[in-house]
């Protein structure tokens, strides 16, 4: 298959223009790159701490801890927080995506707080590029894919909002999709890249089996399964070692070491409530059609899901479509069983991986549909 390279340059230029325009738009609406009292600001505190003191333990965490102690004593009420978790030796480590702080630190060192915005644009461009390359591979061309991909990413993902803020959800999505892209030609490095996403959000481990098997339909290459296992295994070993150093067990995460405060001002460990069947079966009208976090109002491409599945069953890349669409549905249901599934600013950020995996099939389907309409078929 021959794919013209000039389309790549055009796509990146268009993507850059979209990113700049969306940043100007969200800035005009009053949104902040580092909104206060929100995860982006906390990730920035960790990045500054790493750059200044080489520590994940941001000084602001201790200030916040003392404030919660005081409030719980003064009001005689129990207080919970979603900022830090207790390390094995009493440290206050970030609950959300320590990897974002590590990657953001050099950007902060070079550009100050503007570096967080710059990092998001770099990540978004690489994410757009990988999406374009994957859909070109599935559609077996670049012609038409360039236009459809640009329009789809602009209208179906609210990606401009997430790349304007210092959002760790964008970092996890980048690792998953770019890892899938690299896996096509370099399975060892691609699988390692995708596996790194669990440092951003441990629940992404649910998606790894689907991503690792997505390119199974390729002509068999000697050592490919081994390379996939080596890349994934190396990162998982690193992850278990980090968990043991930070939380005291290879299988413990920040969600198992969350800190709450008793009415007497004393801290205690409160494990995350996790996922529930009761939550999964409830509130589906708001999950699908809610004005702020509903899945379909912000991602209307999902209305075409039955037709995309029908196209996938006849596609030359049946296994890719099966793996990515199944992964999309499984992870979406997993997130909808989470007690705080609706904690998002705009749209449902927890479902970004599900939406993107679906769009990797929706875009080639759109191209096929356009060909049929244009050819009178």
Q: Is residue 31 part of a domain?
A: yes
Nearest to 354 by CA among 307, 287, 290: 287
Nearest to 69 by CA among 55, 58, 81: 81
Q: Give how far Cα 353 sits from Cα of 176, 206, 265, 349, Å.
A: 8, 11, 39, 9
Q: Is residue 18 part of a domain?
A: yes
Nearest to 94 by CA among 46, 60, 48: 46
Q: Is residue 96 part of a domain?
A: yes
pLDDT tens digit sequence for 131-170: 889 988 888 776 667 667 767 766 666 676 777 788 899 9
DSSP state of 221: -
Neighbours of 67 (CB within 10 A): 12
Q: Is residue 133 part of a domain?
A: yes
Q: Is residue 367 part of a domain?
A: no
Number of domains in the chain: 1
Can you tell me the mean pLDDT for 230-236? 96
Confidence (pLDDT) at 273 = 62
Confidence (pLDDT) at 222 = 63
Q: Is residue 358 part of a domain?
A: no
Q: Is residue 334 part of a domain?
A: no
Confidence (pLDDT) at 22 = 73
Residue 142 vs residue 117, higher pLDDT: 117
Q: Is residue 280 part of a domain?
A: no
CA dihedral (59, 61, 121, 99) positive or negative: positive
Q: Which domain holds residue 182?
A: 6-274
pLDDT tens digit sequence for 13-51: 777 777 777 777 776 766 777 877 678 888 999 999 999
Long-range contacts of 220-229 (CB under 8 A, 24+ apart): 221/187, 224/187, 227/187, 227/188, 227/191, 228/183, 228/187, 228/188, 228/191, 229/191
Tell me the whole-structure pTM to 2 decimals. Answer: 0.91
């Amino acid at each position: 298959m021959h794919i013209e390279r000039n389309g790549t340059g055009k796509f990146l230029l268009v993507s850059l223009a979209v990113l700049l325009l969306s940043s100007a738009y969200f800035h005009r609406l009053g949104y902040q790159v580092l909104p206060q009292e929100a995860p982006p600001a906390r990730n920035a505190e960790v990045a500054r701490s790493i750059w200044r003191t080489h520590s994940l333990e941001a000084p602001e965490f201790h200030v916040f801890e003392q404030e919660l102690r005081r409030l719980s004593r003064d009001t005689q009420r129990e207080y919970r927080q979603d900022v830090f978790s207790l390390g094995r030796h009493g440290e206050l480590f970030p609950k959300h995506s320590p990897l974002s702080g590590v990657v953001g630190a050099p950007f902060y060192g070079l550009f100050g707080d503007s570096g967080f915005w710059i990092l998001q644009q770099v990540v978004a461009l690489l994410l757009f590029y990988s999406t374009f390359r994957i859909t070109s591979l599935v559609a077996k061309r670049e012609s038409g894919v360039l236009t459809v991909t640009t329009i789809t990413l602009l209208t179906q993902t609210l990606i401009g909002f997430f790349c304007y803020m210092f959002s760790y959800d964008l970092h996890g999505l980048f690792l998953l999709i770019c890892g899938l892209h690299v896996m096509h030609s370099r399975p060892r490095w691609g699988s390692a890249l995708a596996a790194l996403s669990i440092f951003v959000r441990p629940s992404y481990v649910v998606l790894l089996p689907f991503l690792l098997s997505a390119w199974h339909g390729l002509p068999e290459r000697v050592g490919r399964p081994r390379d996939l296992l080596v890349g994934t295994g190396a990162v998982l070993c690193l992850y278990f070692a980090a968990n043991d150093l930070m939380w005291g067990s290879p299988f413990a995460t920040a969600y198992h070491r969350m800190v709450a405060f008793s009415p007497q001002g004393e801290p205690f460990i409160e494990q995350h409530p996790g996922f529930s069947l009761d939550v999964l079966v409830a509130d589906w009208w708001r999950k699908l059609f809610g004005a702020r976090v509903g899945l379909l109002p912000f991602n209307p491409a999902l209305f075409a899901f039955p037709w995309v599945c029908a196209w996938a069953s006849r596609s030359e890349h049946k296994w890719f479509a099966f793996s990515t669409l199944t992964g999309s549905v499984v992870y979406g249901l997993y997130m909808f069983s989470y007690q705080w599934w609706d904690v998002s600013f705009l749209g449902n950020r927890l479902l970004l991986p599900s939406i993107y995996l679906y769009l990797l099939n929706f875009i080639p389907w759109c191209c096929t549909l356009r060909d049929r309409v244009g050819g009178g078929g």
